[in-house]
Amino acid sequence: MRRIVVPSLFFMALLGIWGIAAGSGRWSPVLFPSPWSVAEYLWGALLDGTLVEAIFVTMKRLLAGYAIGLLIGLPLGLLTSSSQMLEDTIGALALGLQTLPSVCWVPLALLWFGQTEGAMLFVVVMGTVWSVIIATDHGARTIPPIYARAARTMGSQGLHLWTRVMLPASLPFLVSGMKQGWAFAWRSLMAAEIYVTILTGFGLGQLLHYGRELQAMDQVIGAMAMIVIIGSLADRILFSPWERFLHRRWGTNVE
Amino acid sequence: MNMAEAQWQGVMPEHASGASSKLIVESVSKWFRTPRATVHALDSISMQVAAGEVVCLVGPSGCGKSTLLDIIAGLTKPDSGHVLADGHLVTGPGRQRLVVFQEPSLFPWLDVFGNVMFGLKLCPELTNDGRREIAHRFLGLVGLEKFERVHVHELSGGMKQRVALARALAADPQVLLMDEPFGALDAMTREHLYDDVQRIWRDAGKTIVFVTHNMREAVCLGDRVLLMSQAPGKIIQAFDIPLPRPRSIYDVELVGYAARIADALRGTVGGGVPE
């Protein structure tokens, strides 16, 4: 109960301070709208369908890029963890490119693909895949070797060893890798949507971008709020419970 | 096999038990190379274990006794020498030689029953009903029949080792290799397990190699205790333990044997205190 009441009070206080500051008249409401006008904008956007449409378009792009990122990243991460040579080559490449902020892929993507969905997808995949490789590689290396040793003495080997022992043993770390990948895919997509303006879909990032073009600060802040809310909901609903469950059950108390 | 035995007669005549030798370790040596140094872990170890015999390996920590067990299991390759199991050269791990490790080696993604079933599922000659029946039976044998559906992280250390023992026994290996299986447990839990283990072994009649650094544990469980020296490890003395079973670690005679082995060990480490 306490863990619900205290945060609620905290965020209500934050909104209150924002409201008082906006209402004080020191700043132009065009540049510093009140929480109510942002809420009003979001309500209107919800009713006329732009918000739902934007969320839908964004999610579609996110899932496609994320799925491709996982499909490439998870196997590569497992491979780099099992071979020194791959670690020194692909692993080093992943480590290097992971330091590149995903927005830096945008110019390249625009020149290669133009203002297309392909450019968007490319940025998301590039933003996701390296961090997934690194997280998976790290996870697979932390699997206690005792599991494989015990399984081998019981006659497990080859495919059986990989699917019945190594895969379940690395599950907590795969989920961490997937969570990491999700966070990076989300950031990359927002960068891509702000810079790639196309007619095939109008996502949350574009909502934010056009808010700036129209100098509609309530739209800018409203879009930012939605991005925060969706990002943290995904973390809380999709990943955290799983991660907690796996780490508790597996006895790998990372948290 | 005959040649190996013939060779053996001369080395350790009192234990060359002829045709019933289950395990033969023949001049096995092992070095570990690290970037800084090369450690000579095992120095031409030879021993043999008769079918149904319980042999305990004791020695100071770092004497390579766990390495020797790994080599017998086939998890580590010796640099020279070889191991014969039933007269066949050991080239890799196999389910005829199951290991019970000191560290918790149960799979946390399976429950207790699933862990015991893991080894059984790798026995193609069994039916599924047969596997389940065996798993129930062995969990009963270690007193955990009520915990079949419990997850590994909910078990105490002693219970985990009981499950590991049941998992190993259920797959019906010919040889059981135990690497300080009770080393991480408290004294009271350990003493309970000595009673259980002696009862189970009497019924199962397995060939067992048991590594420990606890003298009384070795004397309590072993038909024979082999004392190893500090690195490079070699077997320096063998003790027959002709005490009747079941044995209690508080038995005066047993303590006497343990003290004699501890004295012998002290002699080898130059006045140091054995663990």
ipTM of the complex: 0.81
Is A142 part of the contact surface with chain B (CB cutoff 8 Å)?
no
Give percent of chain A above pLDDT 90: 52
Asked if B118 and A146 come within 8 Å (Cβ–Cβ), the reply is no
What are the helix and strand counts (H, E) for chain B?
Answer: 8, 10
Q: Are residues B247 and B120 in the same domain?
A: no
Burial class (CB in 10 A: 0-12, 13-18, 19+), A172: buried
Name which of A146, A150, A249 is nearest B151 (Cβ-Cβ): A249
- pLDDT of A73 > 80? The answer is yes
Euclidean distance between CA atoms A153 and A251, whole angstroms: 23
Q: Is residue B69 within 8 Å of residue B209, measured between CB atoms?
A: yes
**The CATH number of the domain where A166 resides is what?**
1.10.3720.10
Number of domains in chain A: 1
- pLDDT of B219 > 90? The answer is yes
Contacts of A151 in chain B (CB under 8 A): 107, 118
List pLDDT tens digits, range B122-148: 988 999 999 999 999 999 888 898 999
Task: Work out how many CB contacts closer than 8 A connect A with B.
Answer: 64
Q: Are residues B74 and B14 in the same domain?
A: yes
List pLDDT tens digits, range A22-61: 988 888 888 899 999 999 999 999 999 999 999 999 999 9
List pLDDT tens digits, range A77-124: 988 988 889 999 999 999 999 999 988 999 999 999 988 899 999 999
Is A253 part of the contact surface with chain B (CB cutoff 8 Å)?
no
- Residue B182 forms part of a structural domain: yes
* Residue B233, both tokens: 């490890």
Q: Are residues B165 and B30 in the same domain?
A: no
Contacts of B95 in chain A (CB under 8 A): 153-155
Query: Of the residues B123, B147, B170, which one is the last residue of a structural domain?
Result: B170
Asked if A149 and B105 come within 8 Å (Cβ–Cβ), the reply is yes
Q: Which range marks the domain in which residue B127 is found?
A: 107-170
**Residue A171 burial (CB count, 10 A):** 18
Q: Are residues B88 and B49 in the same domain?
A: yes
Helix (H) or strand (E) holding A98: helix A92-98
Q: Are residues B121 and B194 in the same domain?
A: no
Q: How confident is the model at residue A141 (pLDDT cuts 50, 70, 90)?
A: confident
Q: Is residue B83 within 8 Å of residue B71, measured between CB atoms?
A: yes
List pLDDT tens digits, range B233-242: 889 899 999 9
Query: Of the residues B170, B202, B225, which one is the last residue of a structural domain?
Result: B170
Euclidean distance between CA atoms A240 and A233, whole angstroms: 10
- Residue A79 forms part of a structural domain: yes
Q: Which range marks the domain in which residue A214 is found?
A: 33-250
Phi, psi (deg, nearest 5) at residue A82 = -105, -5
- Residue A25 forms part of a structural domain: no
- Residue A11 forms part of a structural domain: no
Q: Are residues B158 and B182 in the same domain?
A: no
- Residue A24 forms part of a structural domain: no
Is A170 part of the contact surface with chain B (CB cutoff 8 Å)?
no
What's the pLDDT score for residue B17?
Answer: 42
Residue of B nearest to A151 (CA): B119
Name which of A156, A168, A249 is nearest B122 (Cβ-Cβ): A156
**Residue A124 burial (CB count, 10 A):** 31
Is A169 part of the contact surface with chain B (CB cutoff 8 Å)?
yes
Interface of B with A (CB under 8 A): 73-75, 92-95, 97-99, 101, 103-105, 107-109, 118-119, 122-123, 151-153, 167, 171, 177
Q: Are residues B119 and B197 in the same domain?
A: no
Residue of A nearest to B167 (CA): A154
Q: Are residues B177 and B164 in the same domain?
A: no
Contacts of B188 (CB under 8 A, 6+ apart): none
List pLDDT tens digits, range B166-177: 999 898 898 999
Q: Which residue has the higher pLDDT, B17 or A122?
A: A122
Q: Is residue B136 within 8 Å of residue B148, measured between CB atoms?
A: yes
Q: Are residues B153 and B261 in the same domain?
A: no
